[in-house]
Structure 1
Amino acid sequence: MAELDWNDIKVFLALFRGRSVRAAAGELLMSHSTVSRHLTDLETSLGAVLFTRSRDGLLATAVAEQVFTKAEQVESEVLDFQREAESLDTELAGQVRVTSPPLLSQYMLMPHLASFTRKYPGIEISLNTSYSIDDLMRGAADVAFRFQFNPDDSLVGRRLPDFVERAYASPQYIANHWFEDNKTNANWIGRGTIDPGHRWITEGPFPDAEVKHQISDLLDQAEAAKEGLGMIVSPCFFADSLDGLVRIPGTGPVSTRPGWVLTHPDLRSSVRVMTFVRFLVAEMTKQEALIKGDTV
């Protein structure tokens, strides 16, 4: 058997998890042809076919199912080695890989990232927008900004202020509808695939209001509300900054979610990572009133 290449194994894991060349290429930032080449090299090294194609994507063969657990163990050992090596840095230079929900990065983080890089010009920021905590577990990120009530016990967390959501609509939409106690003839704009069961509505001020339209992206949802398609529940730090949206009169906070800055415990001795974490936590804590919606 030929010597195995770690990059081939990494591609195999991405293909096994994503079940398509497109998904693996996107995760690894490789071209489709490069992913296919690595798969061919690995299958040649093993002397076995690992995937077959179907209309539903790639199907793992019995051999692939057998080697997946071993490949994950290799991945874990390589990531442990990388984290340990990175934790030995003593200089404020190098890269800090950050993952954040898109709305937070677009409407809150950017000024802080700019201030941080001006203060520490030797550090380069790599930002990826994502909702998955697997970014940290698989070594794809050093720092994750997340909204969670109970972060994974295996991660190191710094608490941010609680992020508050309220109900919003356009001034004209509010003027054209009536709101009495918990009743209204207005409608909510649904969140689509984010929450197809609309659980957030039961926590809101108008639990019996009809749901019309389905818009998963929160930025698009806000634009729809500005155009009069209905009411939305949105984070205060975002919605309060938009022209054309106002809080629905007589309503209070709908939900409160703890904010966290999370890192892998192996990176606690990384000077650049922990310097980044302390800086961002301090700057975002200064914006507690904005985050909680106390500025309006």
Structure 2
Amino acid sequence: MAVRSQDLGDARWDDIRIFLALHRHGSLGQAGVRLGLDTSTVSRRLTALEATLGARLFDRTREGLVPTRVAELVLPAAEAMEAAHRRLARDASGAEADAEGVVRLSVAPGFADSFVVPTLVRLRARHPGIRIELDASVRVLDLTRREADLALRSVRPEGADLVATKLASARWVAAASAELARDAGRVEAWDALPWITWDRDLASFPPALWLARHAPGAEIALRTSFFRSQITAAELGLGAALVPEPYLRVHALTPLGFAGALEASAAEWPTDHLWLVGHRALRDVPRVSAVWSFLLEELRSR
């Protein structure tokens, strides 16, 4: 019989608590230490929970416990039970719940390098029990399928299971190294500059479209869809680039001055939005809630 993430209704909270500790620590002994129980008690209770569910939750290996597919399926419901239990205790006593465990965060690579990674030391100092798994690939992970717990997106995803809040909006601007900006002076034509732009796989990306429209005859010094490489090349003076304004504060880039005749084209620079997105069922799980609040505080201030 297939086990769904909702199929925990007959399980006792004490057994769910043990399941979560085993999932987070990967061994009977470490889970027992965390919970103040001996190893035999932890093992017995795990067996009882597996009997209730009618499925095996962990493979026992020489390296420790490895969660099965069933364990990953029931994990969201177990964490929701944990969040509800902690809310009950918090409401009754006013005590704060501990935030601990893995939070998987999906962020575009350029933004991850420039804005997320530099905050992680502060996050760890505030929540030492939280461990971040950062996916900074260009692939968009599916939060509804639990490929990530939280995501930072430039487009608000649709879906009843998702919650999102806008953190910021930023305009793209023409920028270059200080030396190149000084040598270019007051730009009279966008074609007069060497440019760094997106590769052909992202030719329909708004900044690439802007450059194709307003500087069709420009020398292209570099094409790459890896944004961090664009930033580095621009900092080194290889060419001008369109970058979101917040990047000027964290990289050695200077906005280009331009003639009044270019104001109409500059008014067409794209605008990006930044959304923090999570799964509704995980929003109140302490580890997810803590990272959500932290990112809200850190990135809304930029």
Query: Normalising to structure 1: TM-score of the pair?
Result: 0.61
Pair 265,80 (structure 1): closer, same or farther in 2 beyond 3 Å: farther
**For the residues of structure 1 that align with 2:229 and 2:184, how far apart are their CA atoms?**
22
Over the aligned positions, Cα root-mean-square deviation in angstroms equals 3.1
In 1, distance between residues paired with 2:300 and 2:109? 19
- Which residue number in structure 1 is paired with residue 233 of structure 2? 224
1:238 and 2:260 correspond:
no
**SS state at 2:78 partner:** helix
- Confirm or deny that 1:267 pairs with 2:278: no
Q: Which moved more, 1:106-115 or 1:155-164?
A: 106-115
- The residue that corresponds to 2:6 in the other structure is none
Residue pair 2:170, 2:273 contacting (<8 A) in 1 also: yes
Aligned-pair distance for 1:249?
0.6
Q: Please give the alpha-carbon distance, in whole angstroms, between the structure 2 residues aligned to 1:94 and 1:264.
A: 17
**C-alpha distance 194-238 of structure 1, shift in aligned 2 (>3 A):** farther
Match of 1:284 in 2: 299
Q: What residue is the counterpart of 1:93 in the other structure?
A: 100
Gaps of 5+ in 2: 3-68, 87-97
Is 169-178 or 93-102 further displaced after alignment? 169-178
In structure 2, how many angstroms separate the alpha carbons of the residues matched to 1:209 and 1:199? 18
1:145, 1:239 → 2: CA distance? Answer: 20
Q: CA deviation at 1:223?
A: 2.5
Pick one of 140, 153, 159 that aligns with 1:153.
Answer: 159
2:299 alignment partner, SS class: helix
SS in 1 for 2:81: coil
Scaled by the length of structure 2, what TM-score is found? 0.60
Q: AA paired with 1:224?
A: A
Contact kept? 2:171, 2:245, Cα under 8 Å = yes
Q: 1:112 aligns with which of 105, 115, 119?
A: 119
CA shift in 2, pair 1:227/1:127, >3 Å: closer
Q: Cα gap change, 1:179/1:222 in structure 2, threshold over 3 Å: closer, same or farther? A: same
Deviations 1:234-290 (A, max 9, x none): 1222244323x3111137572211111111122123122122102210221122xxx
Matches of 2:76 and 2:285 in 1, distance apart? Answer: 9
> What percent of counterpart residues are identical?
23
Tell me, in whole angstroms, the C-alpha distance in 1 between the residues paired with 2:205 and 2:102: 39
Equivalent position of 2:272 in the other structure: 257
Give the CA deviation at 1:231. Answer: 1.7
Residue 163 of structure 2 contacts residue 279 of structure 2 at CA under 8 Å; is this kept in 1? yes
| Matching residue's letter, 2:284 | S
Matches within 5 A, 1:1-296: 81-89=74-82, 90=86, 91-148=98-155, 150-154=156-160, 155-177=162-184, 183-193=190-200, 195-197=202-204, 199-203=206-210, 206-210=214-218, 212=220, 213-243=222-252, 245-250=253-258, 254-287=269-302
Mean Cα displacement is larger for which, 94-103 or 179-188? Answer: 179-188
Deviation of residue 190 (structure 1)? 2.3
How far apart are the structure 2 equivalents of 1:108 and 1:183?
Answer: 29
Q: Which runs of 5+ in 1 are unaligned?
A: 5-74, 288-296
Distance 2:165 2:73 in 1: 22
Distance in 1 of aligned mates of 2:224 and 2:136 = 19
Q: Secondary structure at the match of 1:87?
A: helix
Q: How many residues of Structure 1 are paired with residues of Structure 2 in the alignment? A: 212
Using the alignment, how far apart are the partners of 1:138 and 1:188 within structure 2?
39
Tell me which amino acid in the other structure corresponds to 2:157: P
